Chains A and B, each alone.
Chain A
Amino acid sequence: MEYTANCKIIEILELSDEKLIELSNKSVLSLSFEEMKKIQGYFRKLKRNPTDVEIETIAQTWSEHCKHKTLTGVVDYTELIPLKKGSFDKLPVSSRNKIEFLKDDKDYVQYEKKERTYNNLLEETIFKATKELNKKWCLSVFKDNAGVIEFDSENAVAFKVETHNHPSALEPYGGAATGVGGVIRDILGVGLGAKPLANTDVFCFGDPNISDSKVPYGIHHPKRIAKGVVAGVRDYGNRMGIPIVNGAVYFDDGYVANPLVYCGTMGILPKNKIEKKVIFGDLILLVGGRTGRDGIHGATFSSVKLDKKSDVNAVQIGNPIVEKKVLDAMLEARDLNLFRAVTDCGAGGLSSAIGELGEKIGARICLDKVPLKYFGLSPWEIWISEAQERMIFAVPLGKKDKIIEIFKRENVEATVVGEFTNDNRLVVLYDNNIVANLDMEFLHNGVPKPVRSAIHKIKEEKIQESIKMNYLEISQTLKVLLADLNVCSREWIIRQYDHEVQGQTIVKPLQGNCIEISGPSDAAVIFPYTIIKDTKKGIVLSNGFNPEYGKINVYKMACSSIEEALRNAVSVGGNIEKISLLDNFCWGNTNSPEVLGSLVCVANACYDMSKAFDVPFISGKDSLHNEYSTSDGKYSIPPALLISAMGVIDDVANTVTMSFKNTGNKIFLLGVTRNELGASVLAKIKNIRIGIVPAVYPNESKEIMKKIYLAINENVVESCHDCSEGGLAVAISEMAFSAKKGVQIYVDSVKTETNMLTMSETLFSESNGRFIVEVTHENETKFREVLKGSIFSEIGCVTDDENIIFESEKNKLKLQENSQDLLKIWQSTINW
């Protein structure tokens, strides 16, 4: 392809409808027909054709990636809820017309139909909950680069999680590395810049043991993607000196063609540095890496389904050391008050960063001044390149020399490329010619809002046939569960990350009773003592994620993920009254009403849970269009909602870990065990397709969470671990083998919903809201006092002999396993 360094006029005034669509597709603009028509109309009014720079600017600004058109769009939503048998007759006649008969597998089922129109889905669900909860400690929500909450009287903490899915599918190492780099810049660009304290990462891959023949043409093998992604995250995160402290990996064949890579960063900043301000006359300072032809169309390409021809040029090239230098220098400049606003160059490059900062007043930029990696870039390429490690600062004229001096001392390039104006226009110059002249109002608010329709049918769930196993089968099942890809140890990944750099990781991703053995921590706690002298406070980070549940019931998937994130944070000592949440939606192609329907249902679940738990969402992000097409058809991902939690802990001395501590201590199980094996790991390995997906009982579990926090702060909890994938049996095993201890569990003592549960159902049910807590004999009375009124029971004790024993007199079953054998099984699956 030949490149010309000139600006071109794009003829659109006279284009027919078909040609408009053709133009959008050909130039990877990802603009819809309505959007192209709107642009055509705008320029017809101006009686001139747009330049390539202008068309590209609009495409970047209006991209799904930047504008979140689906989540903030208009949706006509229909929900179909299965009616219980016989309830039709009881319905008032007036509502009978809302009943539909639809064919499920074999039978016709009666569904109640509920309809609702959303003018702005996000504002009427997730954001609405936050507004209604109106927490004083939420300092900046859903507006800046990240959500910000109060840390103490002078400081705040910010948290953001991003996805970098498409790039990681094409080029796993580079895609994942720049995913980390990008979210770190979000934190550098929040308020007037925060210092990053920790990173998180969550991945979805296809089965790494899949045979080559099952991998669609043009796709990397899942194991290659997994290894490349881990290496990319490792190399960028380690070089930045930011510990990667929390995460998850989920394997499912639905992600073979579209792996998911979520990267998060948490940072700390002074409370008086949260607000940005841009004033007429401020200089636009471009800082950091040079601009090249990498990452062209990253923003718009993320809204296109992938196929074998997808352009690798859309993947950016990262250099962590350049970003580290920017970080070091900009924090100094921040503390000297040398700039009024900052933002990162992410999706859409300069066009988005400058366009956003100047949205309310206007900006004038000279593209010739932008330092380039090499010659030959067209003006539109300079303007939208997503070359990495660049930040934009708004600098008052008088502080220009000082700020440039600071960057220069750290060997960071800093160049004035323009200024903010007061004419509400975005004016771009190149070679003394105006190559773009757009009205800010049209650019930011001109995008048409089409009405989309969405439909979601809730599946009826039935209890599976009673699962009965003898002790040999239970033993075998426990081992298969521990070795399962979605349960087994992530140590191979975690150890490659420097999760202790900065010295502040006081609850680590791996915890054990001696340094040789490690169990899976529920959450991480950062103690920012190097930044805030004499503080006692800490920050807990956790996540909840289980796309498996969504295959049967996305509403319950969302509720479970939220509850799991909270549960994990509470397990280490988090206070549910000081926890905030982030949402990250990764969905298939939402142009399909069914796919969009499941997203609406999940947004509603987020609202319901946020209100019920009294826990606000502070930020979020969506990645839609995770679809890949081959000659065999389209591959769409199972919906994946990642919930990340960040909370402030008042005294880090009152945090606990998950490994058992001492022989003889009593073990309590808090919460109710129900017959909830639908979409469980057990159901997956036994190929059981029916069953009840674990539900969330917010009042029940919120109360237990509050009491655990009290108990931990009364110092009566020795260790605490939540029950999640694999249920009670897996959680108990993890606590025992990470302590090199044994345990005796009386399964009959477990509080179950009905007496109908078999031993294997009790051991492997994945009911939410459950915690295992270790308490000394001396503290038992106090512990029981704190827990009074909640559902809990003593189920056993810690022993010294490395034997894990589950015993039931009722079932006449006794299971005995060596804890260190189970540890080896748990550790051996991922050891590449």
Chain B
Amino acid sequence: MKKNKVLILRTAGTNCDYETQSAFELCGIAVERVHISVLIENKSKIFEYDILVFPGGFSYGDDVASGKVLSNEIKNKLGSEVRKFALSGKPIIGICNGFQVLVKIGLLPDPELFTQVSTFSHNDYNKFECRWVYLKTGNKINNESNCIWTNKLPTIVSLPIAHGEGKFIPKNKSILNSLNKNNQIVFRYSSKDGNIPRYPLDPNGSVDNIAGICNKKGNVFGLMPHPERYIFHMQHPSRKNFTGKNHGWGKIIFQNAVDFVNR
């Protein structure tokens, strides 16, 4: 039987690739970190993999705008391949800079459409921030989502964020409405008890407190927080006071995808 494999796509300025690799490996799947120049030379190589990851970092220094240069490169040189990968139903995750890339190439919110319909702006407080936040999972209407990545998570989880351009802005009202209607908003910044947060728990001023979205099918997932930084409970800032199990919420997210492809 063929062994499943994760592809972590890296380029100049990628910097969360090692910990993302470890997170997947701890979920029991093989991982390869592949430079984009290698993939561009051999485009069909992408289909050897079962999960595609756009990791965090500062791709090309985030020159022009965060994730912009990389998303153009992907769109122009690997566009049809990544779209095909997404439409095939295989899991794709974009974390932080990777989320920005997914949105800017148009894989989110709709890979069929493959057009950019939302963007990211500078945080409302206009500075880079690294801190932990609460996230409300699921959806306002019926608490259900197709997202394969966020199964089994409780209503409120905490994860760290670290970004300067994290304010998610949909192009117009109808885009936002359809995200809501189709249960595509999987993570919202929240207060500890699930209410609308204020700064700093709302770290960037995202429209509708959006922190992570998926496509309708639920296989393509992008989020600003860093699940790969919360695999063990020791990574949580409150340490001994933490009453959860001995793994972090991030582990569940990666395990969900691994279980999905192993099925």
Interface residues of chain A, those whose CB is within 8 Å of chain B, are 234, 238-241, 319-321, 324-325, 328, 409-411, 494-506, 508, 510-516, 518, 527, 529-531, 652-653, 656-657, 659, 661-662, 718-719
Residue pair A510, B234 in contact (C-beta under 8 Å): no
Is B29 part of the binding interface, using a Cβ–Cβ cutoff of 8 Å? no
Q: Given A500-B130, A503-B228, 7 more contacts at CB 8 Å?
A: A238-B58, A324-B13, A495-B129, A501-B162, A501-B229, A512-B238, A513-B238
Point out the residues of chain B lying under 8 angstroms from A494, CB to CB: 130
Residue pair B234, A511 in contact (C-beta under 8 Å): no
Residue pair A652, B21 in contact (C-beta under 8 Å): no
Residue pair B162, A498 in contact (C-beta under 8 Å): yes
| Contact among B21, B162, B238 with A515 in the assembled complex (CB-CB below 8 Å) | B238
Contact residues of B between 16 and 50, Cβ < 8 Å to A: 16, 18-19, 21-23, 35, 37-38
Residue pair A238, B234 in contact (C-beta under 8 Å): no
Residue pair B237, A511 in contact (C-beta under 8 Å): yes
Point out the residues of chain B lying under 8 angstroms from A511, CB to CB: 237-239
Residue pair B237, A530 in contact (C-beta under 8 Å): no
Please, which residue of chain A has its CB at the minimum distance from the CB of B41? Answer: A409
Residue pair A324, B15 in contact (C-beta under 8 Å): yes
Point out the residues of chain A lying under 8 angstroms from B200, CB to CB: 516
Looking at B83-91, B131-139, B143-151, B181-189, the stretch in contact with chain A turns out to be B131-139
Point out the residues of chain A lying under 8 angstroms from B167, CB to CB: none
> Are A321 and B13 also in contact (CB < 8 A) when A410-B37, A496-B128 are?
yes
Residue pair A530, B238 in contact (C-beta under 8 Å): no
Residue pair A409, B38 in contact (C-beta under 8 Å): yes
Point out the residues of chain A lying under 8 angstroms from B262, CB to CB: none
> Are A515 and B132 also in contact (CB < 8 A) when A324-B12, A409-B37, A498-B162 are?
yes
Residue pair B201, A239 in contact (C-beta under 8 Å): no
Residue pair B234, A652 in contact (C-beta under 8 Å): yes
> Are A239 and B58 also in contact (CB < 8 A) when A495-B130, A498-B128 are?
yes
Residue pair A506, B18 in contact (C-beta under 8 Å): no
Residue pair A500, B162 in contact (C-beta under 8 Å): yes
Please, which residue of chain A has its CB at the minimum distance from the CB of B133? Answer: A515
Point out the residues of chain B lying under 8 angstroms from A495, CB to CB: 129-131
Point out the residues of chain A lying under 8 angstroms from B18, CB to CB: 502, 530-531
Residue pair B237, A241 in contact (C-beta under 8 Å): no
Is B235 part of the binding interface, using a Cβ–Cβ cutoff of 8 Å? yes
Residue pair B35, A409 in contact (C-beta under 8 Å): yes
| Cα-based distance from A499 to B238 in the complex (angstroms) | 16
| Contact among A234, A319, A499, A501 with B16 in the assembled complex (CB-CB below 8 Å) | A501
| Cα-based distance from A772 to B206 in the complex (angstroms) | 42
Please, which residue of chain B has its CB at the minimum distance from the CB of A502? Answer: B19
Chain B: number of interface residues, binned into ranges: 35 or more
A310–chain B nearest beta-carbon distance, Å:
29
> Are A527 and B234 also in contact (CB < 8 A) when A320-B61, A503-B229 are?
yes
> Are A508 and B128 also in contact (CB < 8 A) when A239-B58, A239-B61, A325-B12 are?
no
A653–chain B nearest beta-carbon distance, Å:
7
Residue pair A496, B127 in contact (C-beta under 8 Å): yes
Point out the residues of chain B lying under 8 angstroms from A321, CB to CB: 12-13, 58, 60-61
11 contacts between A and B (CB under 8 A): A239-B13, A319-B61, A321-B13, A411-B37, A503-B22, A506-B234, A508-B237, A512-B238, A514-B241, A515-B133, A653-B234
Is B212 part of the binding interface, using a Cβ–Cβ cutoff of 8 Å? no
6 smallest beta-carbon distances between A and B, as pairs = A241-B15, A503-B19, A515-B132, A503-B229, A321-B61, A498-B162
> Are A503 and B128 also in contact (CB < 8 A) when A240-B15, A324-B13 are?
no
Point out the residues of chain B lying under 8 angstroms from A497, CB to CB: 130
Is B111 part of the binding interface, using a Cβ–Cβ cutoff of 8 Å? no
Please, which residue of chain A has its CB at the minimum distance from the CB of B61? Answer: A321
Residue pair B240, A510 in contact (C-beta under 8 Å): no
> Are A241 and B16 also in contact (CB < 8 A) when A496-B130, A498-B128, A515-B134 are?
yes
Point out the residues of chain A lying under 8 angstroms from B232, CB to CB: 506
Q: Is the interface of B mostly helix, strand, loop or mixed?
A: mixed
Residue pair B37, A500 in contact (C-beta under 8 Å): no
Residue pair A718, B130 in contact (C-beta under 8 Å): no
Is B160 part of the binding interface, using a Cβ–Cβ cutoff of 8 Å? yes
A403–chain B nearest beta-carbon distance, Å:
16
Point out the residues of chain B lying under 8 angstroms from A325, CB to CB: 12
Please, which residue of chain B has its CB at the minimum distance from the CB of A521? Answer: B237
| Contact among A530, A653, A656 with B19 in the assembled complex (CB-CB below 8 Å) | A530
| Cα-based distance from A561 to B219 in the complex (angstroms) | 54
> Are A530 and B21 also in contact (CB < 8 A) when A496-B130, A500-B226, A653-B234 are?
yes
Please, which residue of chain B has its CB at the minimum distance from the CB of A241? Answer: B15
Point out the residues of chain A lying under 8 angstroms from B56, CB to CB: 501
| Cα-based distance from A240 to B16 in the complex (angstroms) | 10
Point out the residues of chain A lying under 8 angstroms from B21, CB to CB: 530
Residue pair B158, A515 in contact (C-beta under 8 Å): yes
Is B231 part of the binding interface, using a Cβ–Cβ cutoff of 8 Å? yes
A564–chain B nearest beta-carbon distance, Å:
23
Point out the residues of chain A lying under 8 angstroms from B61, CB to CB: 239, 319-321
A129–chain B nearest beta-carbon distance, Å:
35
Residue pair B58, A718 in contact (C-beta under 8 Å): no
Residue pair B15, A504 in contact (C-beta under 8 Å): no
Please, which residue of chain A has its CB at the minimum distance from the CB of B38? Answer: A409
| Cα-based distance from A718 to B13 in the complex (angstroms) | 39
Residue pair A510, B237 in contact (C-beta under 8 Å): yes
Contact residues of B between 209 and 263, Cβ < 8 Å to A: 226, 228-229, 231-232, 234-235, 237-241
Is B94 part of the binding interface, using a Cβ–Cβ cutoff of 8 Å? no
Residue pair A529, B15 in contact (C-beta under 8 Å): no
| Contact among B22, B160, B234 with A500 in the assembled complex (CB-CB below 8 Å) | B160
Point out the residues of chain A lying under 8 angstroms from B16, CB to CB: 241, 501-503
B244–chain A nearest beta-carbon distance, Å:
13
B9–chain A nearest beta-carbon distance, Å:
13
Residue pair A500, B229 in contact (C-beta under 8 Å): yes
Is B57 part of the binding interface, using a Cβ–Cβ cutoff of 8 Å? yes
Contact residues of B between 46 and 76, Cβ < 8 Å to A: 56-58, 60-62
| Cα-based distance from A325 to B232 in the complex (angstroms) | 29
> Are A410 and B12 also in contact (CB < 8 A) when A320-B61, A500-B226 are?
yes
Point out the residues of chain A lying under 8 angstroms from B131, CB to CB: 495, 515
| Cα-based distance from A504 to B19 in the complex (angstroms) | 8
Most chain B CB neighbours (cut-off 10 Å) among A239, A498, A510, A511? A498
B67–chain A nearest beta-carbon distance, Å:
14
Point out the residues of chain B lying under 8 angstroms from A411, CB to CB: 12, 37
Point out the residues of chain B lying under 8 angstroms from A661, CB to CB: 240-241
B258–chain A nearest beta-carbon distance, Å:
17
Point out the residues of chain A lying under 8 angstroms from B128, CB to CB: 234, 238, 496, 498
| Cα-based distance from A321 to B201 in the complex (angstroms) | 30
Residue pair B35, A410 in contact (C-beta under 8 Å): yes
Point out the residues of chain A lying under 8 angstroms from B130, CB to CB: 494-500
Point out the residues of chain A lying under 8 angstroms from B12, CB to CB: 321, 324-325, 410-411
| Cα-based distance from A453 to B93 in the complex (angstroms) | 65
Point out the residues of chain A lying under 8 angstroms from B235, CB to CB: 500, 503, 505-506
| Cα-based distance from A498 to B161 in the complex (angstroms) | 9
Please, which residue of chain A has its CB at the minimum distance from the CB of B201? Answer: A516
Please, which residue of chain B has its CB at the minimum distance from the CB of A327? Answer: B15
| Cα-based distance from A652 to B13 in the complex (angstroms) | 29
Please, which residue of chain A has its CB at the minimum distance from the CB of B134? Answer: A515
Point out the residues of chain B lying under 8 angstroms from A410, CB to CB: 12, 35, 37
Residue pair B234, A514 in contact (C-beta under 8 Å): no
Please, which residue of chain A has its CB at the minimum distance from the CB of B127? Answer: A496
B94–chain A nearest beta-carbon distance, Å:
17
| Cα-based distance from A501 to B162 in the complex (angstroms) | 8
Point out the residues of chain B lying under 8 angstroms from A324, CB to CB: 12-13, 15
Residue pair B129, A496 in contact (C-beta under 8 Å): yes
Point out the residues of chain A lying under 8 angstroms from B237, CB to CB: 508, 510-512, 515, 518
| Cα-based distance from A272 to B234 in the complex (angstroms) | 31
B234–chain A nearest beta-carbon distance, Å:
5
Please, which residue of chain B has its CB at the minimum distance from the CB of A322? Answer: B12
A114–chain B nearest beta-carbon distance, Å:
50
Most chain A CB neighbours (cut-off 10 Å) among B23, B158, B226, B237? B237
Point out the residues of chain A lying under 8 angstroms from B37, CB to CB: 409-411
